[in-house]
Amino acid sequence: MAEETTTTETENQVDFSGINYDSVVENCLTPEVKATLPKSWIKFKGKPLDEVFKSHLSAEQELSRRIRIPDENASEVERRKFHTQLGCPESPEGYDFGEIADADPEFVKWAKENFHAEGVSKTKATGIVRRFVEMTSAKVRKQKEVEANALKEAEKDLRSRPGWEGDKYNERLATAQAWYDRLFGKGAAQIFAEKGINTHPMVVANVYALAEQLGEDFFVGGAKGGGKMSGKQLLDQMYPDDKGQPTT
């Protein structure tokens, strides 16, 4: 009886001699897992599974010897060594964000110093900076869109007012721009242009209204209604430094 049982068990045994890395990858892994296998694993092609496991066990043991996760009692030197092994540069200057954040040197300096203090790797730091810049850029674009739409609505409203229709809008715009320096001091026109408000409908409407009210005579020596002090003398008294600031 014992002899028959031994024969049966032998017949039911599976022959594993043909099972190697290739057969496991092809027959046992799902397509999703196959897609994640590193290209470096090509070295196991045709190798028996024993060799694959031995290689990974050896790598794990070596890694455990090289990298020791610091605990709460670890020194700063030990923590810094650990962070460096994970890809953190030796100093803040070791981070290189390329053209991602060139527009804001202060932010780049802040990011490098803080990433280094927290032991963030170069790769992760670059990814964080890229996402931050993309987020802030999207906010800036959105804000500009809001401001542009508001400006269009303001211009549309001004063009619809009596006296501002058609070509009269451009004529009054030119009049307002010619009066910037007169009303606000030397260089006002340039400053307004640099700030992008030289054509803002609200500014144009108010400056034009002042120009209409004061008239050319106010600036050439005689006040419209007469009086002891001319318009120019009044302005010289109010703005002696020609910078548009009244005296106290």
3-state secondary structure 162-217: CCCCCHHHHHHHHHHHHCHHHHHCCCHHHHHHHHCCCCCHHHHHHHHHHHHHHCHH
Domain spans, the chain = 17-66, 76-140, 156-238
pLDDT by residue (tens digit) across 18-51?
A: 688 888 888 888 888 888 888 888 888 888 888 8
Predicted pLDDT of residue 110: 92
pLDDT by residue (tens digit) across 184-216?
A: 888 888 888 888 888 889 889 998 988 888 876
Predicted pLDDT of residue 248: 40
Inform me whether the pLDDT recorded for 224 exceeds 50: no
Which residue type, as a one-letter code, is found at position 40?
S
Inform me whether the pLDDT recorded for 66 exceeds 70: no
- pTM for the whole structure: 0.47
pLDDT by residue (tens digit) across 91-112?
A: 999 998 888 877 788 888 999 9
Instruction: Decide if 91 contacts 116 (C-beta within 8 A).
Output: yes
